């Protein structure tokens, strides 16, 4: 199968969040399964790597004028290429995204240029897989200007990674980009008298996916639909939730060279070594060998969505009422950082804090913790809960989106974590209390750890589900 994958970021070349990881891992898994995969992405100023420049020139004419771009290529593996759209005027700026007046042009151009790149390389995809609002207009272009080309027979899949970011622009961009005004209507690009690129992808793609089954259900409701729930319900028969995978080679406690000790489900002894080193890193001086304490950990962006408000309320309850410790790694909103610093001052030697982004320490937190805190308000997929399960650190999560899909509650025979439903601090405290109960029975805790470590969250599993979807579109 020939697959063209469009993404506004692709790790390790560019990344601001989970989309970059998906755009790296899913195409690689599809290529390993024997398919021809091409990934198109902008050539940002920050991109580094061994890129091969080509002689191809892309030319696209819009009402505002003609734009040109070059093409560069990287070869991550057999059957897997990454095409970079080289337009310094659009992508040679600091950062990947912004609030500039021409943001609609940047990604309108990218969507069309990626399709034209397939023509330049004589690559006729059977599937064009689009991701988030930055590629929404490609679904429109496949129905419009590219319908009579070698891409005309391709079927399109549009994946919603986070519905909250939609690409809304004034309706004047219809004329600016040369979009037919008959598409400016409720079933097309129109969104409360503006143009919505996310809605374009939803309305025009042949199939829609989200990054977890539960999130696919949630976004059809008023609470999670971000005012697009109506068109999502209308297209519910085309909507599928497929849980993201993780890199099981990078995140493997048996092979992880970033850890002070390795371990696996058969021999968990290395986890105690990891915990001891983590406690030292976070300045937790209590002699663990005298009276072991459960260590609750978190790695997070410090935002409301991630449930930091709940942590600030529930952690004092935990540390005041139980013989426990907490270690938090993260960065984000300044008022949350101040709140966490206040907790560190209030509970010295019990609450450890590292503010900042530290990939090495994040591995060590996953390995050294006893329980992982992830009380998100919403979570389209989430990755840390899957890392935690793989590292034998039962997660405590709110039952939403991918968290609900990937964690099995301790009340079940195959339970490997703890869930709570309501987005409230007392609900999080209740779940933490359940974890404390399990802590009292080491054999039960180790059994829970081993169940989580046995789960398969590899991209091979997720890629197989995408392939079934592709094949259903091709009949």
Count of structural domains within the chain: 2
* Measured distance CA(168)–CA(174) in Å, rounded: 12
| Cα 342–chain centre separation | 30
| Residues 305 and 347 grouped into a single domain | yes
b/e for 311-324, b at 16 or more Cβ within 10 A? bbebbbbbbeebeb
For the segment 47-57, the average pLDDT, to the nearest whole number, is: 94
For the segment 364-377, the average pLDDT, to the nearest whole number, is: 98
Q: Which of 315, 253, 324, 323 is nearest to 295 (CA)?
A: 324
CA distances from 39 to 54, 82, 132, 280 (A): 16, 5, 15, 43
pLDDT confidence band for 49 (50 / 70 / 90): confident
Q: What is the reported pLDDT for 288?
A: 79
CA distances from 349 to 284, 286, 293, 296, 354 (A): 5, 7, 12, 14, 14
**What pairing do the DSSP bridges indicate for beta strands 395-398 and 36-42?**
unpaired
Q: Is the peptide bond before 12 cis (omega within 30 degrees of 0)?
A: yes
157 and 469 in contact (C-beta within 8 Å)? yes
For the segment 182-191, the average pLDDT, to the nearest whole number, is: 96
The two structure tokens encoding residue 145: 């200007």
* Measured distance CA(111)–CA(424) in Å, rounded: 41
b/e for 241-254, b at 16 or more Cβ within 10 A? bbbbbbbbeebebe
Taking only the tens place, the pLDDT of each residue in 8-29 is 999 999 999 889 999 999 999 9
161 and 211 in contact (C-beta within 8 Å)? yes
| Residues 69 and 164 grouped into a single domain | yes
Task: Decide if 262 is inside a domain.
Answer: no
| Residues 187 and 311 grouped into a single domain | no
CATH number for the domain spanning 233: value is 3.40.50.2000
196 and 183 in contact (C-beta within 8 Å)? no
Q: What is the reported pLDDT for 275?
A: 97
| Residues 167 and 91 grouped into a single domain | yes
Task: Decide if 254 is inside a domain.
Answer: no
SS3 440: coil
DSSP structure string for 292-347: ---EEEEEEEESTTTTHHHHHHHHHHHHHHSS-EEEEEEEE-HHHHHHHHHHHHHS
Q: What is the reported pLDDT for 475?
A: 86
CA distances from 427 to 14, 123, 433 (A): 37, 52, 10
Task: Decide if 182 is inside a domain.
Answer: yes
189 and 200 in contact (C-beta within 8 Å)? yes
* Measured distance CA(56)–CA(83) in Å, rounded: 11
| Residues 437 and 464 grouped into a single domain | no
- Range name among 13-27, 35-49, 76-90, 280-294 with the lowest pLDDT average: 280-294
For the segment 30-57, the average pLDDT, to the nearest whole number, is: 96
Does residue 253 surpass a pLDDT of 90? yes
Strand ranges (E), 78-171:
80-86, 127-131, 155-160, 168-170
Does residue 241 surpass a pLDDT of 80? yes
For the segment 336-346, the average pLDDT, to the nearest whole number, is: 98
For the segment 345-361, the average pLDDT, to the nearest whole number, is: 96
Does residue 318 surpass a pLDDT of 90? yes
| Residues 32 and 170 grouped into a single domain | yes
Q: What is the reported pLDDT for 227?
A: 98
Single pTM value for the model: 0.95
Domain enclosing residue 311, as ranges: 269-456
Q: Which of 35, 1, 20 is nearest to 97 (CA)?
A: 20
Task: Decide if 255 is inside a domain.
Answer: no
Q: Which of 6, 61, 62, 7 is nearest to 174 (CA)?
A: 62
| Residues 464 and 452 grouped into a single domain | no
| Residues 137 and 211 grouped into a single domain | yes
| Residues 373 and 430 grouped into a single domain | yes
Q: What is the reported pLDDT for 178?
A: 96
| Residues 334 and 447 grouped into a single domain | yes
CA distances from 338 to 237, 320, 333 (A): 46, 20, 9
Q: What is the reported pLDDT for 289?
A: 76
Does residue 290 surpass a pLDDT of 80? no
| Residues 292 and 207 grouped into a single domain | no
* Measured distance CA(113)–CA(41) in Å, rounded: 10
Average pLDDT score, the chain = 97
Q: Indicate the burial class of 217 (C-beta count within 10 angstroms; 0-12, 13-18, 19 or more).
A: middle
Taking only the tens place, the pLDDT of each residue in 195-212 is 999 999 999 999 999 999
Q: What is the reported pLDDT for 291?
A: 78
Q: What is the reported pLDDT for 286?
A: 83
For the segment 390-417, the average pLDDT, to the nearest whole number, is: 98
Q: What is the reported pLDDT for 118?
A: 98
Q: What is the reported pLDDT for 337?
A: 97
Q: What is the reported pLDDT for 254?
A: 98
| Residues 234 and 297 grouped into a single domain | no
Task: Decide if 259 is inside a domain.
Answer: no
For the segment 354-380, the average pLDDT, to the nearest whole number, is: 97
Q: How many CB atoms lie within 10 A of CB 47?
A: 21
With a CB cutoff of 8 Å and minimum separation 6, the contacts of 121 are 38, 56, 71, 83
């Amino acid at each position: 199968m020939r697959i063209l994958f469009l993404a506004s970021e692709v790790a390790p070349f560019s990344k601001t969040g989970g989309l970059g990881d998906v755009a790296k891992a899913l195409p690689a898994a599809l290529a390993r399964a024997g398919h021809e995969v091409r990934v198109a992405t902008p050539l940002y100023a920050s991109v580094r790597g061994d890129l091969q420049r080509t002689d191809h020139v892309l030319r696209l004419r819009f009402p505002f004028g003609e734009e040109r771009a070059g093409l560069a290529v990287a070869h991550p593996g057999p059957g897997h290429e990454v095409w970079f759209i080289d337009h310094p005027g659009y992508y040679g700026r600091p950062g990947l995204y912004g609030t500039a007046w021409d943001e609609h042009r940047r990604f309108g151009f990218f969507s069309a240029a990626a399709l034209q790149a397939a023509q330049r390389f004589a690559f006729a995809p059977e599937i064009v897989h689009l991701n988030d609002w930055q590629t929404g207009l490609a679904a429109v272009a496949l129905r419009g200007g590219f319908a009579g080309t070698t891409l005309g027979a391709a079927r399109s899949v549009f994946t919603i990674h986070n519905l909250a970011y939609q690409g809304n622009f004034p309706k004047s961009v219809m004329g600016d980009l040369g979009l037919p005004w008959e598409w400016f209507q409720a079933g097309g690009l129109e969104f409360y008298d503006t143009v919505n690129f996310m809605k374009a992808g939803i309305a025009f793609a042949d199939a829609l996916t989200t990054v977890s089954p539960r999130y696919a259900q949630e976004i059809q409701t008023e609470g999670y639909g971000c005012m697009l729930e109506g068109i999502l319900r209308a297209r519910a028969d085309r909507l599928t939730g497929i849980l993201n995978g993780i890199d099981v080679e990078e995140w493997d406690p048996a092979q992880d060279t970033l850890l002070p000790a390795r371990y696996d489900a058969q021999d968990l002894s290395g986890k105690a070594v990891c915990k001891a080193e983590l406690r030292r890193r976070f300045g937790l001086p209590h002699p663990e060998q005298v009276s072991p304490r459960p260590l609750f950990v978190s790695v997070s962006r410090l935002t409301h969505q991630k449930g930091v408000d709940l942590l600030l309320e529930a952690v004092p309850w935990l540390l005041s009422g139980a013989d426990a410790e907490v270690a938090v790694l993260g960065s984000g909103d300044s008022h949350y950082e101040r709140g966490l610093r206040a907790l560190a001052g209030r509970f010295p030697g019990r609450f450890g804090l590292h503010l900042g982004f530290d990939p090495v320490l994040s591995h060590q937190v996953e390995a050294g913790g006893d329980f992982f805190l992830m009380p998100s308000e919403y979570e389209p997929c989430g990755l840390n809960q899957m890392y935690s399960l793989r590292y034998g650190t039962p997660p405590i999560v709110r039952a939403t989106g991918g968290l609900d899909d990937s964690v099995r509650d301790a009340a079940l025979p195959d339970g490997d974590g703890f869930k709570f439903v309501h987005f409230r601090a007392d609900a999080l405290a209740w779940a933490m209390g359940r974890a404390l109960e399990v802590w009292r029975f080491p054999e039960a805790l180790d059994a829970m750890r081993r169940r989580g470590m046995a789960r398969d969250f590899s991209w091979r599993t997720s890629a197989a589900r995408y392939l079934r979807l592709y094949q259903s579109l091709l009949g």
